[in-house]
């Protein structure tokens, strides 16, 4: 418990759904200022607002670093509207007594749905097929036209068996896939039994999987987890799916693997230097690329905003946030 924050000034640095704003505006005595444009807030405008802010509600496009914190001398909380928080220097916040929260759980199903969508798109060559139709180039159905790969009996290897990894496994099981996973610890026995899932070493996962799905958090330990060496351990017929964080994959190495046929294809929702995408990926027909849509449903984005706002309400009342991020 900490002291309640009387008449808090809350700055929302990016456009968020109304569900979150309603909760913030209902906080007793709160003054809420919110940037209401899809464009990233200009730094000078943001800093002017942060100068008197008690709480900042931030998006993944905000880099909450020393410069951000210097602009907000009265800041007591950063409520990040995301499950990931690699945009936030948590240690710097802790050193200044600034509480950090995130929004886990609410985007699990949406992200798993998208991961499964990427898997189907790349294995059945749906992106290539749509590009062909839109090009208006002549085409003729044939027995060997754009043959893809079925999923029944194939092995899905999940790196990071948290909530999204488990949800992805459930979806893959319904397509008849076998599940193996690599995680810091074994998942609950009941979940393993339900999914028929087996914990394996990372090397075993890479060499045995027909599809490798990245569902792990981003950290120093997972930076470029998929690089030239690890990609080379995958089967030439295997596919890579990434809905976690872009820098988990060395994009230059992935381009080389896709171009050489070291792996069969990749489905990516996140990118190493987002929003920039490695130009080599754009030229790869065996890559499906979408712009960070993992949580992009009306329901999920609303729930994320509401969760972030509820974290703020907790801290204003003097309680710990229900979703704290620990240093």
Indicate the burial class of 6 (C-beta count within 10 angstroms; 0-12, 13-18, 19 or more).
exposed
Strand partners, 226: 249
Compute CA distances 97 → 91, 92, 93, 94, 178, whole Å: 10, 9, 6, 5, 46
- Cα separation, 101 vs 320, in Å, equals 10
The answer to whether the beta carbons of residues 152 and 204 sit under 8 Å apart is no
Asked if 292 is an active-site residue, the reply is yes
Compute CA distances 208 → 127, 158, 181, 284, whole Å: 26, 11, 11, 24
* Active-site choice (31, 128, 204, 274): 274
* Active-site choice (245, 251, 278, 301): 245
Crossing angle of helices 108-123 and 163-174, in 10° steps, is: 50
Asked if 274 is an active-site residue, the reply is yes
The answer to whether the beta carbons of residues 309 and 26 sit under 8 Å apart is no
* Active-site choice (171, 223, 292, 299): 292
Locus of tokens 């000034």: 9
Compute CA distances 173 → 117, 269, 305, whole Å: 14, 22, 31
> Sheet containing 155-159: which strands, arranged edge to edge?
198-199, 178-182, 155-159, 211-214, 239-242, 265-268, 287-289
Helices (H), the chain: 18-25, 43-50, 66-70, 90-95, 108-123, 126-135, 163-174, 189-195, 202-208, 228-233, 251-260, 279-282, 298-316
Name every residue whose Cβ is closer than 8 Å to that of residue 159 and which is 6 or more positions away in sequence.
165, 181, 182, 183, 202, 205, 212, 213, 214, 215, 216, 225
- Residues tagged active-site: 245, 274, 292
């Amino acid at each position: 418990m900490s002291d309640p924050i009387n008449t808090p000034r809350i700055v929302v640095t990016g456009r968020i759904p109304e569900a979150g704003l309603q909760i913030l505006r209902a906080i007793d005595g709160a003054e809420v200022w919110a940037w209401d444009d899809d464009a990233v807030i200009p730094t000078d405008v943001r800093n002017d607002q942060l100068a008197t802010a008690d709480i900042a509600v931030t998006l993944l496009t905000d880099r909450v670093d020393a410069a951000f914190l210097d602009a907000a001398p009265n800041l007591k909380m950063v409520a990040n509207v995301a499950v990931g928080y690699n945009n936030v220097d948590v240690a710097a916040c802790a050193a200044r007594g600034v509480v950090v929260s995130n929004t886990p759980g609410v985007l699990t199903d949406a992200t798993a749905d998208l991961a499964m969508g990427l898997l189907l798109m790349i294995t059945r060559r749906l992106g290539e097929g749509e590009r062909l139709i839109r090009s208006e180039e002549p085409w003729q159905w044939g027995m060997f036209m754009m043959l893809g790969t079925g999923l029944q009996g194939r092995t899905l290897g999940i790196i990071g068996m948290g909530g999204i990894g488990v949800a992805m496994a459930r979806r893959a099981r319904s397509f008849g896939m076998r599940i193996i996973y690599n995680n810091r610890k074994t998942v609950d026995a009941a979940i393993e039994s339900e999914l028929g899932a087996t914990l394996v070493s990372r090397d075993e996962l890479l060499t045995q999987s027909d599809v490798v799905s990245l569902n792990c958090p981003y950290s120093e330990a997972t930076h470029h987890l998929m690089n030239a060496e690890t990609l080379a351990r995958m089967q030439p017929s295997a596919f890579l799916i990434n809905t976690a964080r872009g820098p988990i994959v060395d994009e230059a190495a992935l381009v080389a693997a896709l171009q050489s046929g070291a792996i069969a294809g990749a489905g990516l929702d996140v990118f190493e230097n987002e929003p920039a995408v490695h130009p080599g990926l754009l030229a790869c027909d065996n890559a499906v690329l979408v712009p960070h849509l993992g949580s992009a449903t009306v329901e999920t984005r609303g729930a994320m905003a509401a969760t972030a706002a509820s974290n703020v309400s907790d801290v204003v009342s003097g309680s710990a946030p229900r979703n704290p991020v620990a240093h």
